A and B are shown apart, each in its own frame.
Chain A
C-alpha cells in the first residue's frame, strides 16, 4: 500500500460558513498542488470533540500537517493561499 507524502487533518465545526470555506479552500489547494500524493481527513469537532486535545487543537477551523515532519498547524478559513502553501509545502 502506497503511503502519501502529505498527511493533513482539517478540524471544523458543523456547517458554519467558515468551516465550509476552509474545506473548499484546502481541497482546492491539495488537488491543484499535491496531485494525488496526499491524504486529507476532515474532523467535525461537534461530532468528535475528543479528537481536539491529542492534536493540540484549541480553535476551529484548524489545519494540521502531520506529514512530512515537522508537524505544523494553521488557523482560519485557509483563504490565504501563500500561508497555506507555506504550511503544507515548506519544510
Chain B
C-alpha cells in the first residue's frame, strides 16, 4: 500500500515539473504579458513587452525629442526625434554624455540640475551647427538608480512654423487648406475678411459652403478644386452673407511621404479689379463717343462762327473764345469723372473773366448737371456773358446781372435758370440773328428739350430756361468717386 502514495507523489511532481517547463517555455517564447514576483512589501506584477508597447510607440512617434538620462548625464535611451534633431543614429546615442550636445558650457550646470524648463543651444549634426531648443526634465524613479526623463523641443522648427503662420496671416490673399474630402482645416485673416467667416465658424465645415449652391448639380469649379484639376481658375464664390464674390483661385495639393494629405487654396478677390476693368471699358467707349460728339460740336461752332463772322480776325477771336468756354466746362466735368458738374462752379468758371468787378449776382441751391447739360449750359452762359459785355449790362457803367436758379414744378420738376440784366444801355432786339442767339435759344432748346424765353424788355435783357429734371445729376456721395 506504500507504493501508491509514492506513485501519486511522483505523478504530482511530474505534473508540476511539466507546468514549470511550460511556464518557462512561455516566458522564453514571449507568450506571456507579466511575471508576478514576491517583493519586500508584497507581490509585484512586472509587465513584459506588450504591456508597455503603447507607451513605447507613443514616445517613438512624438515630434519632441525624448530621453532618459542617468544622474551623471549619460543618455540611456533616446527616441528617433532626438536622434533626428542632433543628426545621429539612435544606437550611437546610448552611452553619450548629454552635455556633449549642449553648445554653451554655462548650460551644462543647468542641465545637471535638471531645471523645469529652459532654452538652450543644441549642437546638431557633424557641422557643429547649433539650434535653439527648449529642454525640460523630470526625475524618474527606476529601481535604485536615479534617472531623469528629458524632453527636447526644437525651437527652430517652431520658429519656422511661427514665421510661416505670420506670412500666411499677413497675406492680402485668402489662404485656406482642405482635407482630401474638402473639409476646411486652416483659415487665414484675409480669408476671414473676404468671406466673412471667423476661423471657428468655418473650420471643420465643407468647402462647398463657399460655393453657390446649384441644387443637385455639383458646382464645376468646386469639383475642379477638390480634384485639383486646374491650378488656376476664376470663379464665383459666396460669402457668409450669401453675396457673390468674384475670385481668382490657385489650387495645390500637398503630400507627406508620397501620400495625398490635402489641398491648399489661395483666393484673390477680383470683384474690385473686375469692376475697375469694366469701368475702364465703359470709359473707353464713353470717351470715344464723347470725342466724336465733341468734334461734331466743334465743327458746328466753327461753321456757325464762320457764318456770322465778318472778318477772319473776328472769326479767330470768337472761335477761340468759344473753344475756351467749352474747355472750361470740360475741365469741370473731368474733375467729376464725367458724371456731373456743379452748377455754381460752372457759372463761376464761365463768368469770372467777364466779371472782374463782381457785377453778376448769383443765387440758387446746390445743384449738379449731367455732362450733356453742363456742356450746353456752359456754352450758353459764355454767349450770354459775351453779349452782355459787348452790348448789354456789362458794357455800361452801373449795369448788373442777376443769375438765379431754382427747382420748380408741381408735377414734373424742372430746373429754372434765369439771367436778368438791368441798368444797361437801351435794349433793342438784335437786327440779325447771330450764332450767339441761335445757341442760347434754338440749339439749347433742342439739345436739352428745354423751354427758353428771351425778353428784350426796356429795363434789361432777360433769358429764362427750364430744363427737365433728368438733366440734374445726383450729388456726389461722401466718398468721391474718382473714376
Contact = CB atoms under 8 A, between A and B. Distances in A.
Interface of A: 12-14, 16-19, 45-46, 49-50, 52-53, 57-62, 70, 72-77
Interface stretch (B26-34, B147-155, B361-369, B376-384): B26-34
A50 B36 CA distance: 9
Given A13-B45, A13-B51, A17-B50, A59 B34 contact: yes
A21 B27 CA distance: 17
Contact of B35 (A58, A73, A74): A58
Contacts of B44: 49
A60 B45 contact: yes
Given A53-B36, A58-B23, A76-B26, A18 B43 contact: no
B483 interface: no
Interface SS majority for chain B? mixed
Interface residues of B, number: 22
Contacts of A58: 23, 35-37
Nearest to B51: A16
B50 A18 contact: yes
Nearest to B50: A16
A60 B19 CA distance: 13
Contacts of A19: 33
22 contacts: A13-B45, A16-B50, A17-B50, A18-B31, A46-B45, A52-B36, A53-B36, A58-B23, A59-B26, A59-B35, A59-B36, A60-B35, A60-B36, A61-B33, A70-B15, A72-B19, A74-B19, A75-B23, A75-B26, A75-B32, A76-B32, A77-B31
B32 to A, nearest CB: 4
A55 to B, nearest CB: 10
A15 to B, nearest CB: 10
Contacts of B35: 58-60
Contacts of B38: 53
B47 A13 contact: yes
A57 B19 contact: no
B43 A61 contact: no
Most chain B Cβ neighbours within 10 Å, of A13, A62, A77? A13
Nearest to A50: B43
Contacts of B51: 13-14, 16
B4 to A, nearest CB: 15
B34 to A, nearest CB: 4
Contacts of A50: 42-43
B252 to A, nearest CB: 42
A4 B389 CA distance: 135
Closest 5 CB pairs of A and B: A52-B36, A49-B43, A13-B34, A75-B26, A76-B31
A63 B339 CA distance: 97
A60 B15 contact: no
A18 B47 CA distance: 12
Contacts of B34: 13, 45, 59-60
Contacts of A45: 34, 36, 45
A52 B43 contact: yes
A75 B22 contact: yes
Contacts of A14: 51
A45 B33 CA distance: 11
Given A70-B15, A74-B22, A76-B26, A18 B32 contact: yes
